[in-house]
Amino acid sequence: MPRIEIRRLRYFIALAEELHFGRAAQRLNISQPPLSEQIRKLEEELGVRLFERTSRNVLLTEAGRIFLAGTYRALEEVERAATAASQAQRGMAGHLKAGYLASAGVTFLPSLLRHLRTVIPGLQFEFRQFSSSAALEALARRSLDVALVRTAFGNEAFASRVIHEDRLILALPYDHPLAREPELRLAQLHDEMFVLYPPNEGRVAYDVVQRACIQAGFVPRAVEFVEDVYGMLGLVAAGLGLAVVPGSIGGLRVAGVVFRELPDTSEKFALSLVWRKADETPLIERVVREICTGWAPGYYLDDAPGSP
């Protein structure tokens, strides 16, 4: 298959549309002899005659008409590819692999994605749910480009930014005696059993809850350790215990579960964006900038039409 110069394709289109060497040359801002030479070379490369030439007329052959249709499509693809390359160079397009926590899936993630789709219209997403530790492992393996995590880390290959600090709220069964209270103090819960984040996979979240309870004068007693916040809420709904969860979760409607504020603690669940320092490409830099400075974290459930 011959390798055809894009310049010759453009020359061919000009002549095919003008059907006059003089006008086509003027349109291309070249003289007529170079145009004739390039058309001749194009026909030689293809092994077909594209034009019928007479002393008065230039006409497309049947082969020329077929080649013209394909040439239009080819140049459109070249232009699209050039635009995509330019957008990628400016961080305006590309493929992003990101990991996120379950608790962010229906709270922060929808509004974040809406924002990124608006400001980076050429961005293609591939999102997967992970625990914090699993997301960081995937980031180190280069299976992810960025991750939303709660886990602290000391990997010098990573860069990070805290993008939101979530207050602590209490999840309890709807029929629990304390469910009638509009807000609670942690000190009231010293005799309760808790569904806790695990001390290994969910280490940071576990530590946050431990510190809050210790400051209230007790160490929480665990009935079960569950990494996934939705699994925690399921056990709470079943009446197995209480759970301290991020405030953003309070916008969910979970059958059998009520949420109450905990105004007596200053502890927060921090949500961080993490990426590899070595991969600060224009796209990653743009995504990080938009998430950290262009996007205002908000609970999607609170913003949606018809939300309570």
Asked if pLDDT for residue 234 goes beyond 80, the answer is: yes
To 10 degrees, the CA torsion angle through 116, 158, 203, 200?
110
Q: How crowded is residue 111: how many other Cβ atoms within 10 Å of its Cβ?
A: 19
Asked if pLDDT for residue 299 goes beyond 60, the answer is: no
The two domains 6-89 and 168-267 share their CATH topology (first three levels equal)? no
State mean pLDDT over 252-269.
93
Asked if pLDDT for residue 11 goes beyond 90, the answer is: yes
State mean pLDDT over 163-176.
94
Domain boundaries, the chain: 6-89, 93-165+270-303, 168-267
In the predicted model, what is the mean pLDDT of the chain? 86
Residue 227 pLDDT: 86
Asked if pLDDT for residue 300 goes beyond 80, the answer is: no
Rounded distance, CA 268 to CA 283, Å?
30
Give the CATH number of domain 93-165+270-303: 3.40.190.10
Is 6-89 assigned to CATH 1.10.10.10? Answer: yes
Is 168-267 assigned to CATH 3.40.50.261? Answer: no
Asked if pLDDT for residue 221 goes beyond 50, the answer is: yes
Residue 86 pLDDT: 66
Residue 189 pLDDT: 95
Per-residue pLDDT of 74-133, as tens digits, reads 888 887 777 666 665 655 557 889 999 888 887 888 888 888 888 888 788 888 988 888
DSSP assignment letter at 205: H
C-alpha distance from residue 142 to each of 17, 137, 278, 289 (Å): 50, 9, 11, 20
pLDDT-derived band at 218, boundaries 50, 70, 90: very high
Residue 102 pLDDT: 84
Rounded to two decimals, the pTM is 0.66
* High-pLDDT (> 90) share of the chain, %: 51
Please name the helix (run of DSSP H) or strand (run of DSSP E) that holds residue 164, with its range, or none: strand 158-166
Per-residue pLDDT of 31-48, as tens digits, reads 999 999 999 999 999 999
Contacts of 25 (CB under 8 A, 6+ apart): 31, 32, 34, 35
